[in-house]
Amino acid sequence: MNALRDRGNYAHRLEFGVRAAAGDEYDAERSVRQAVLAEELGYDVVALADRPDTTGIDALTALGWIAARTSKIKLRADVLTPRDPALLARTIASLDHLSGGRAALVLGTAAGAGAAGEAVDVIRALWNTSRTGTVRYSGHFYRLSGAQPGSPAHQVPITVLGDDDRAAADLAGRKGDGWTASYPAELSLGDAAVVIDRAAELAGRDAREVRRELLIRGGLGVREGIFTGSPAEWVSDLLPLVVDHGVSGIVLDLTEVDADGKDLLTRFAQEVVPALKAGVDKVLPDGWQGRAVRSRAALARRAPGVDYDDVPADVAEVLEPGDPRYRRYRGGYLRGGTPGIVLRAETDDQVVEALAYARRHPHLPLARRSGGHGISGRSTNAGGIVIDVSGMNTIEVIDEATRRVRIGPGARWMDVAAALLPYGWALSSGDYGGVGVGGLATAGGIGYLSRAHGLTIDHLVGVRMVLADGSIVEANEVENPDLFWAVRGAGANFGIVTSFEFVVDVVGDVGYAELTHDASDTAGFLVDWGSVVEDAPRALTSFLVVSPARRGQPSYAQSRTMVDSGDPETVLAHLQPLADIAPLLAQQAQILPYAAVMANAADQDPRSAGEPVSRSGLLAHITPEFADAAARVLRGDAVYFFQIRSVGGAVSDVDPDATAYSNRAANFSVVAMGRDDASLDEAWAQLSPYFDGQYLSFDSSLRPGRLEDTWSPSTLARLRDLKAKYDPDIVFDDNFAVLPTTTEKDN
Amino acid sequence: MTDYGHDLIFGSFVTPVSTPVQRPVELSVVSERAGLDVVSFQDHPYMPALQDTWTLLSYVAARTERIRFTGNVLNLPLRPPAVLARAAAGLDQLSGGRFEMGIGAGGFWDAIGAMGGQRLDPGDSVLALEEGIQIMRGLWDTSQPGGFSFDGEFYQVPNAKRGPAPAHAIPVRVGSYKPRMLRLTGRVGDGWLPTLKYLPEGITSLAWMNEHIDEGALAVGRKPTDVTRYLNIDGRFSQAAGGLFDGPPQQWAEQIADVALAYGISGFLLMSDDPADLELFGREVAPLTRELVAAERD
Ligand SMILES: Cc1cc2nc3c(=O)[nH]c(=O)nc-3n(C[C@H](O)[C@H](O)[C@H](O)COP(=O)(O)OP(=O)(O)OC[C@H]3O[C@@H](n4cnc5c(N)ncnc54)[C@H](O)[C@@H]3O)c2cc1C
């Protein structure tokens, strides 16, 4: 057993579960009551035995129901008699999604370890969406011929039910995430461990990849052998199993207990569990909490130059390339990446820790990630470090009278809109609800209420941020006002914002229209749209996407327009001039809450593989000359997305020197996306003469001169001074980085 | 032209999309709030873009209180009838008798085959469905003594214990379109559950389709009124009057009343994922239609 102890006893976190009643005698609701009670008592998992051969409640059905009645506890289907693995994969995946990633699966070997092994393969193959194409599998027992894969919400562990079966233990070692057995059993734990560990080694796995769990029965009261008597006697029965045999899961079997087993469930949770945890803490180096164990396969995917052993212990989550959840954070909505490590921070201190770790790797790129929707902001990299603050996503109203709201960088704008809706408030951000607060609120924020209410940064009254040296500072009009000035337009240059404080606007229902116009005369349409928008009252903000003529279809223009008014007559009056510009191909207008417009992003995590190619320009007016040039560019094939947004209005009211967002006079922001830099630059060159600068958030290029286009000379000079003060080592360089004043030239 | 005289019910047919995963749940809650009688989901277990309908039904059942729920329709080839029967009975118990069994013989045989399911030709799939329904009814019937055995061509159940008994007599509604399947519906179904847009010649097909169902019922000594007939309908609410199911609620109500009285359809399930549509359907169309039909029946 010494070897075991050296390894920290497989180092798994000790978990407690309940196997709820099922089977012939029980009413359908008993398992539900037990599950709900188990959650209240803090159990980690509720298991239901799936026995379609009995007349008890169907386990998968009950788990679906329980998922809706619980919120934390893991939901485990113990599939003891074989089920069709393909359908089972679907069912468990759905259960996992519906329950927010709480599903777990145990497979029995009643039809033999061979069939169970194939079932594991089939299920894993159907859950694997990282490969493209459909799934084929040809086994002795099961066949798939081109089935479509669909992944669960998280990496659902598959545990093999072993009991006395050596072949099952072997299967668990080869393929299982865990092994579980009734205890005591004929096959001793020591013998089982030998089988499991050897099978794991032979399969090229680390024996620690396989959790060991036991299903136990007993009662509290008179001592009549193992798992009876007092809580202290239970602890002394259980402690050696954990310490000497590496058991990390203990599931209390209630299937044969009379009534609900409420007393046993409660006393076990309140008297046995804490004492056992304390006992384990005394003996094992990693305590009952254990330590995450990475599989050999995962370790093989580590990147060079990253000190994986020195990772800060206190961050919320550490993701390496081999970790299942890495995929969710490796890139974002428009950009794929292959960072060597992602550190997820959820508190200021964790950000400090993560940043210190990053700074111990000066040779590696560092990216900061909030909502993952960066275009200019490179919130991922190749082989470097990503500090992800998407988990810092709280939205709280701190003073209702002054409409002060505190928002974390990881919140998405659709969530912000939804949270402000009950107060009758809104904060203009942009046109897409999936975008994160962190990237947008440090750069500008050109949104649907820009002309009425200004940029997002114009509502900012303070931030808390972690600077390059690891200090946590407040920046507002009073404290660090220079930093506060810089954060509003160039925030990415100065640190990691961990909290934003805004004063938001009173916004009731709004008018929102989607109009599709014939734009056969593209240039003429653009000029007319531009002048209508410029002449429109500030309540109106319009975003226009122009699509060129393609495959016999004439060019058309789609505008999305918001009017800050809930009065249908006002809305119609404001929209009418827009509608009249050209023949309408489609139209839709409604009065609805601002939040309803922003609820336009699927809640799936964005996972792009590409690299955006995008250019931005700010424009005073849509002149006939500009419009002709734009129509020409659209006729070519360099641009696949072309959008003009109205700005001006309240945006222009703010003194251009008041924040680090310079080009406030512009009435329009123009964006084009293309396939590659060379062709897009060539097309863009036809438009550049008309622009007065650009908005950094919409520009992906690294061309020299982009900083000068973004900031006025005086603003840029001041930013460089501040860079020298706050980030002289240029730690933050993933988004329009300026060079500190002392250095020769900006990059 | 028949009116079988059944009370009218109104429901929703919600897409069980995988993402956002809570969307169909929210729409079910909206359906209940709008006063609809039943919420239903299609079932295509081979399509990962859709959730597993069974799991969703179980979850929705726990999140609602009054509304009934059904697959529309469940895919028998991928859901073995004995397991399905027991799962259904359990869900019916948990939900206080709100489950209804909408079932179909399956289509999309390539996709079913890709999942490892058995491919059946159309004729066999009718027989398999009939067997499946017999098995479900047999297992639910705990009033019979002894175990339940079934030795069919497609399904075998060797001496299984009966039960669990559902909380109420679960109606079995069949999604069927072809004459043989329609006659089967009349023979063994409690209800019929087709979709308007798949009717071979639109709404008027209901006439001859009803005849097949009636024929099937009469052949085994049942009455045509033993089979309730529902219809999944799609359309849109608009200000201006338009064609079938395209117009204001009043027009919808009139058209639905016509269909109910002319074709004996007593259940209308709106295919929509728009909460506003479901609200209108439950709050305005349903009461208006009930009034119109009651007036005509008087
Ligand atoms: C589909 C789409 C629609 C968009 N619509 C609009 C729009 O309507 N209006 C508009 O103004 N912009 C819009 N944008 C641009 C958007 O504002 C920026 O891309 C923004 O950076 C995204 O923020 P994020 O937090 O999601 O990005 P991330 O990818 O997480 O971060 C991007 C960059 O922002 C910086 N950053 C992120 N978090 C922090 C932090 N906590 N502290 C300091 N710096 C940080 C870093 O430099 C990082 O590389 C849109 C982008 C997309 C993809």
| A440 is a domain residue | yes
A371 CA → ligand 1 middle, Å: 7
A568 and A662 part of one domain: yes
Closest Cα in chain B, distance from residue A53 (Å): 8
Total count of residues recorded for chain B: 298
A208 and A299 part of one domain: no
Q: In whole angstroms, what is the distance from residue B130 CA to residue A341 CA?
A: 57
State the pLDDT confidence band at A23, using cuts at 50, 70 and 90: low
The answer to whether A148 contacts B47, with C-beta atoms less than 8 Å apart, is yes
Total count of residues recorded for chain A: 747
Report the atom number in ligand 1 closest to the C-alpha of A388: 30
Mean pLDDT of A594-612: 83
Contact A33, A41 (CB under 8 A): no
Shortest CB distance from A68 goes to which of B45, B62, B115? B62
DSSP string, A669-723: EEEEEES-HHHHHHHHHTTGGG-S---GGG-----TTHHHHHS-HHHHHHHHHHH
- CA distances (Å), origin A699, targets A470, A488, A540, A710: 29, 17, 25, 10
Residue span of the structural domain in which A60 resides = 2-283
Q: Which residues, at least 6 apart from A562, have a Cβ–Cβ distance to it below 8 Å?
A: A448, A449, A510, A511, A512, A540, A541, A542, A594, A597
Q: Which chain A residues are within 8 Å of B58, Cβ to Cβ?
A: 60-65, 67-68
The answer to whether A94 contacts B163, with C-beta atoms less than 8 Å apart, is no
**What is the Rg, in whole angstroms, of the alpha carbon atoms belonging to chain A?**
30
What pairs with residue A503 in β-bridges? A404
Say yes or no to pLDDT of A441 above 80.
Answer: yes
| Structure-block tokens of residue B255 | 């058209």
A258 and A163 part of one domain: yes
Contact B131, B155 (CB under 8 A): yes
What pairs with residue B229 in β-bridges? B192
Q: Which residues, at least 6 apart from A212, have a Cβ–Cβ distance to it below 8 Å?
A: A10, A12, A178, A179, A180, A189, A192, A193, A196, A245, A246, A247, A248, A249
Q: Which chain A residues are within 8 Å of B113, Cβ to Cβ?
A: 145
Residue appearing with tokens 């379609």: A52
Per-residue pLDDT tens for A44-100? 999 999 987 888 889 999 999 999 999 999 999 999 988 999 999 999 999 999 999
Contact A69, A102 (CB under 8 A): no
The 3-state secondary structure of A282-294, one letter per residue: HHCCCCCCCCCCC
Backbone angles phi, psi at A656, to 5 degrees: -60, -20
Q: In whole angstroms, what is the distance from residue A646 CA to residue A186 CA?
A: 76
A218 CA → ligand 1 middle, Å: 56
- Residue among A245, A249, A318, A243 nearest A287 (CA): A243
Q: In whole angstroms, what is the distance from residue B79 CA to residue B73 CA?
A: 12
The answer to whether A602 contacts B61, with C-beta atoms less than 8 Å apart, is no
Residue A609: what pLDDT?
81
Say yes or no to pLDDT of A742 above 90.
Answer: no
Kindly report each contact of residues A220-223 with a partner whose C-beta sits within 8 Å and lies 24 or more positions away, as own/partner. A220/A263, A220/A264, A220/A267, A220/A268
Buried b / exposed e along B207-226 (16+ C-beta atoms within 10 A): eebbbbbbebbeeeebebee
Helix (H, G, I), strand (E, B) or coil at A495: coil
**What is the Rg, in whole angstroms, of the alpha carbon atoms belonging to chain B?**
19
| A658 is a domain residue | yes
Mean pLDDT of A220-241: 96
Q: Which chain B residues are within 8 Å of A93, Cβ to Cβ?
A: 48, 52
Instruction: Please say whether the dihedral angle defined by the alpha carbons of residues A329, A333, A338 and A339, taken in this order, is positive or negative.
Output: negative
Element (H, E) at A59: helix A59-69
CATH number for the domain spanning A251: value is: 3.20.20.30
Shortest CB distance from B59 goes to which of A64, A142, A149? A64
| Structure-block tokens of residue A551 | 């495959």
Q: Give, using CA atoms, the residue closest to atom 52 of ligand 1.
A: A373
- Residue among B29, B169, B166 nearest B91 (CA): B166
A80 and A174 part of one domain: yes
A404 and A422 part of one domain: yes
A29 and A128 part of one domain: yes
The answer to whether B20 contacts A69, with C-beta atoms less than 8 Å apart, is no
Q: Which residues, at least 6 apart from A536, have a Cβ–Cβ distance to it below 8 Å?
A: A451, A542, A574, A577, A578
Q: Which residues line ligand 1 (CB under 6 A)?
A: A 332-334, 367-375, 377-379, 389, 409, 430-432, 435-436, 438-440, 442-447, 491-492, 496-497, 697, 734-735
Residue A272: what pLDDT?
97
Amino acid present at A297: A
Any idea what DSSP says for residue A550?
Answer: B
Closest Cα in chain A, distance from residue B293 (Å): 33
| A413 is a domain residue | yes
The answer to whether B164 contacts A68, with C-beta atoms less than 8 Å apart, is no
A515 and A496 part of one domain: no
Residue A746: what pLDDT?
46
| Structure-block tokens of residue A704 | 């020299």
Per-residue pLDDT tens for A355-405? 999 999 999 999 999 999 999 999 999 999 999 999 999 999 999 999 999
pLDDT, chain A, mean? 94
Mean pLDDT of A551-557: 88
Contact A343, A385 (CB under 8 A): yes
Residue A645: what pLDDT?
98
ipTM of the complex: 0.97
A515 and A501 part of one domain: no
| Structure-block tokens of residue A426 | 């809104």
Closest Cα in chain B, distance from residue A26 (Å): 10
A147 and A213 part of one domain: yes
A157 and A238 part of one domain: yes
Look at strands A143-147 and A496-503 and give their pairing.
unpaired
Shortest CB distance from A65 goes to which of B20, B58, B162? B58
The pLDDT averaged over each successive group of 10 residues in chain B (298 residues) is 90 95 96 98 96 98 98 96 96 97 94 93 94 97 94 95 94 97 97 97 96 97 97 94 94 97 97 96 98 94
Across the A/B interface, how many CB contacts are shorter than 8 Å?
143
Q: Which chain A residues are within 8 Å of B163, Cβ to Cβ?
A: 55
Amino acid present at B65: E
CATH number for the domain spanning A299: value is: 3.30.465.10
Q: Give yes or no for B236 touching A (CB within 8 A).
A: no
Residue A630: what pLDDT?
98
CATH number for the domain spanning A551: value is: 3.40.462.20
DSSP string, A66-106: HHHH-SSSEEEEEE-S---HHHHHHHHHHHHHHTTS-EEEE
Give the residue from chain A lying closest to B163, CA to CA.
A55
Considering the domain B9-297 in this protein, what is its CATH number?
3.20.20.30
Structural domains counted in chain A: 3
Q: In whole angstroms, what is the distance from residue A201 CA to residue A207 CA?
A: 6
pLDDT-wise least confident of A591-605, A667-681, A727-741: A591-605
Mean pLDDT of A684-712: 96
Contact A390, A379 (CB under 8 A): no
Per-residue pLDDT tens for A252-280? 998 877 778 899 999 999 999 999 999 99
Task: Quickly count: other Cβ atoms within 10 Å of residue A329's Cβ.
Answer: 24
Residue A291: what pLDDT?
85
Amino acid present at B27: L
| A736 is a domain residue | no
What percent of chain B is helix, strand and coil (3-state, nearest 5)?
45, 20, 35
Contact A433, A412 (CB under 8 A): yes
Q: In whole angstroms, what is the distance from residue B194 CA to residue B217 CA?
A: 17
